[in-house]
Amino acid sequence: MPSQRPSDTRRRIALSDAKKPAAQHADNQDLVDAFWVLADATFKAEPENAGTKGSAYRKAAQAFAACPFTVTDSSVDLKKKKLPNVGKASVEKMAAFRATGSIPKLIAVTYGRS
């Protein structure tokens, strides 16, 4: 596979950012951004899981963006299906993000740690 020119990489990032949804509730935008970056990082770092994990993170970001309320671990009830396309693992990552301001999985795929 030929190496990508820097302009190609910038173009791909710009296209990805252009598709990133805006949160209905302003308090959720940082969460949407984090999950969107996590999806992109997963697509790049784990190509074997890109179809499942990367897509799940992208869908979670879209679900968080569509919420008219602040998304927290107490406001998300998986049993009542308040947030479609948000599974248990995404809720755990969301709770970690709300508690610490970062997602351990994002740090791992970004910096190559396991």
**30 by DSSP, 3-state: which?**
helix
Cα distance between residue 49 and residue 47, in whole Å:
5
Cα distance between residue 90 and residue 104, in whole Å:
12
Measured in degrees and rounded to the nearest 5, phi and psi for residue 85 equal 70, 20
> Tens digit of pLDDT per residue, the chain (114 long)?
444 444 444 555 455 566 788 899 999 999 999 999 888 888 888 777 667 888 899 999 999 999 999 998 888 776 666 788 888 899 999 999 999 988 888 887 777 654
Between the CA of residue 5 and those of 19, 58, 59, 78, what are the distances in Å?
A: 22, 26, 29, 43
Q: Which fold is adopted by the domain 27-111?
A: DNA polymerase; domain 1 (1.10.150)
Does this model's pTM top 0.85? My answer is no
